């Protein structure tokens, strides 16, 4: 029964547009990021300097900035209240570096202000992380044993992961909005060059949209499979 589901499941078609979209979004962020990594911010600030200025201007002098391995691994760690920037962002004085550094500061400021969507996202995070793993395990067992109650439970778990993806969207868009305003207001990027930072952040946002679309379509697919079994 499980093998039949696996190989002849027509709902798989639902995932094809999601996969194309996800591939497009990944390509878009890497090409846009690499393009603007080569465009110098004429004000000359490095990503580190941009982040330090924004954090300090928002009373976050106590948030340290560290360097982290990898490419596009930049993040704000709310547990330790640390901003981590990748090598190219930390040291680079490009429009991409400025945009990404300012975006991560946006998350640090959201955290300090207890920005509601971020609080909600952090509250859901552990359930979503457990749920996304438990869901597939439950669904696999449900199909093997033909226990549809277990399948439904798997759908509930997966829904937590979908909700997490949805709540991530306003958090990410808001961080980018704060980033652009800060870059302009503190004179960190020339007004004529701000488009470069905007393009990088829009491309990054698209990857979150793609992840959300994929999650929603997966959920829809599970609901269709569940409906057929009744
Ligand atoms: Zn972000």
CA of 135 to the centre of ligand 1 (A): 26
User: Can you give the pLDDT at residue 115?
Assistant: 97
What's the CA-to-centroid distance between 174 and ligand 1, angstroms? 9
Which member of 49, 66, 104, 113 is catalytic? 104
How many A from CA of 168 to the centre of ligand 1?
A: 9
Interacting residues of 151 by C-beta distance below 8 A, sequence separation 6+: 138, 139, 142, 143, 222, 225, 226, 229
| Cα–Cα distance list, 15 to 11, 26, 104 (Å) | 8, 16, 31
Based on the structure, what is the number of domains in the chain? 1
155 CA → ligand 1 middle, Å: 27
The pTM (predicted TM-score) of the whole model is 0.90
Domain span at residue 172?
Answer: 2-228
Catalytic annotation on 104?
A: yes
How far does the centroid of ligand 1 lie from the alpha carbon of residue 228, in Å?
38
Q: What is the pLDDT of residue 1?
A: 46
Q: Are 46 and 96 in contact (CB under 8 A)?
A: no
pLDDT of residue 8: 61
pLDDT at 214: 94
From first to last of its 230 residues, what are the pLDDT tens digits of the chain?
Answer: 455 555 567 778 888 999 999 999 999 999 999 999 999 999 999 999 999 999 999 999 999 999 999 999 999 999 999 999 999 999 999 999 999 999 999 999 999 999 999 999 999 999 999 988 899 899 999 989 988 899 999 999 999 999 999 999 999 999 999 999 999 999 999 999 999 999 999 999 999 999 999 999 999 999 998 888 76
């Amino acid at each position: 029964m499980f093998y039949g589901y696996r190989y002849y499941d027509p709902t798989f078609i639902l995932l094809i547009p999601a996969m194309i979209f996800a591939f497009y979004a990944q390509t878009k962020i890497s090409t846009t990021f690499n393009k603007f990594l080569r465009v110098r911010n004429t004000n000359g600030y490095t990503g580190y300097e941009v982040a330090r200025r924004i954090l300090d201007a928002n009373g976050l002098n106590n948030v340290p900035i560290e360097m982290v391995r990898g490419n596009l691994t930049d993040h704000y760690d709310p547990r330790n209240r640390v901003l981590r920037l990748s090598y190219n962002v930390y040291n680079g004085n490009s429009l991409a570096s400025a945009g990404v550094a300012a975006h991560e500061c946006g998350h640090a400021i959201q955290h300090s202000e207890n920005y509601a969507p971020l609080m909600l996202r952090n509250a859901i995070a552990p359930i979503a992380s457990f749920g996304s793993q438990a869901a597939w395990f439950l669904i696999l067992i449900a199909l093997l044993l033909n226990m549809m109650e277990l399948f439904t439970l798997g759908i509930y778990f997966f829904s937590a992961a979908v909700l997490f993806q949805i709540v991530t969207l306003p958090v990410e868009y808001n961080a980018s909005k704060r980033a652009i305003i800060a870059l302009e207001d503190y004179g960190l990027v020339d007004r004529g060059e701000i488009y470069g930072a905007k393009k990088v952040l829009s491309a990054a946002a698209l990857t979150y949209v793609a992840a959300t679309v994929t999650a929603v379509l997966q959920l829809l697919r599970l609901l269709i499979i569940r409906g057929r079994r009744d």
